[in-house]
Amino acid sequence: MRRLRRLGWAGLISLVLHALVFGLLWTVEPSPSSNGRLARMREKSVEVEIISSPSVASTTPPAQKPASPPGSDSTPPPPVATREP
């Protein structure tokens, strides 16, 4: 029983001390520091413009069509789709 009473008093004292420190910190105005002033002076916006590179032409030579035999009426195959970088 005595142990619980000691813990109760310790808890009450801790609560009072924390409330006192919180109250003091609440009423005191923070003093401006030199580091804070420098940091506010350095705060400037930075604009960044992203420019995409122009599309690069394919470096591989175009494929040559095989010679068709004379007299055949075959239509050329459709072009192959390529993906640009």
* Residues making up the chain, counted from first to last: 85
Grade residue 40 by pLDDT with cuts at 50, 70 and 90: low
Q: In which domain, by residue range, is 29 found? A: 3-47
Structure confidence at residue 83 (pLDDT): 77
User: Would 38 be classed as within a structural domain?
Assistant: yes
User: Would 82 be classed as within a structural domain?
Assistant: no
pTM of the predicted model over 0.75 = no
User: Would 16 be classed as within a structural domain?
Assistant: yes
User: Would 24 be classed as within a structural domain?
Assistant: yes
User: Would 7 be classed as within a structural domain?
Assistant: yes
Grade residue 29 by pLDDT with cuts at 50, 70 and 90: confident
**Amino acid residing at 42:** R
Residue 18's SS3 state is helix
72 CB-side CA count, 13 A: 8
User: Would 37 be classed as within a structural domain?
Assistant: yes
User: Would 76 be classed as within a structural domain?
Assistant: no
Number of domains into which the chain is organized: 1
Rounded distance, CA 45 to CA 40, Å?
12
User: Would 22 be classed as within a structural domain?
Assistant: yes
Structure confidence at residue 11 (pLDDT): 92
